[in-house]
Amino acid sequence: MTVFVLNGPNLNLLGAREPEIYGRTTLEDIGKALAAAAAKAGRKVEFRQTNHEGLLVDWVQEAGAKGKGLIINPGAYTHTSIAIHDALKMLAIPKIELHLSNIHAREAFRRLSYVSPAVDAVICGLGAAGYLTALDALIRLIDKKPFA
């Protein structure tokens, strides 16, 4: 049972890029932690990052065809990409939007998400720990387990 975790532009620079906002944890560290947590839950993670919008759209479509669920941190594409929104709308699997920072407490342009209307849940502001929270929530959505 594979879940996809897709990351958008500039997330390859985590740990070095604006650590006061995004922390010092690298994307590689996050990927390893997710793989370990997923294995404990009997799942596999397909963990990817790209700086290219079209490739991210391709991966969203692949997640819908091959995966049981999707976590997406679209980075700056959150605020600009109707293409990613449309790709997400087509998926019949559970989907969670994720952001390391609280986008609602930042610049005004970051408060608009084209992704949010196309997903089942949004997690933001928990830093790198948000990925593990999102994985737990995604597994609950896949397994149709209550959150109570």
pLDDT tens digits, one per residue of 49-89? 999 999 999 999 999 999 999 999 999 999 999 999 999 99
Out of 19-23, 102-106, 127-131, the most confident range is: 127-131
Contact 53, 81 (CB under 8 A): yes
Angle at 130 between CA 67 and CA 119, to 5 degrees: 45
Q: Which of 22, 77, 114, 131 is catalytic?
A: 22
Say how far residue 19 (Cα) sits from the centre of its chain: 19
Is residue 99 annotated as part of the catalytic site, yes or no? yes
Q: Which of 77, 85, 99, 131 is catalytic?
A: 99
- Whether 16 has a pLDDT exceeding 80, the answer reads no
Topology at the third CATH level for domain 2-26+36-143: Rossmann fold (3.40.50)
Percent of the chain residues topping a pLDDT of 90 = 80
Extents of the domains making up the chain: 2-26+36-143
Q: pTM for this one?
A: 0.94
Is residue 22 annotated as part of the catalytic site, yes or no? yes
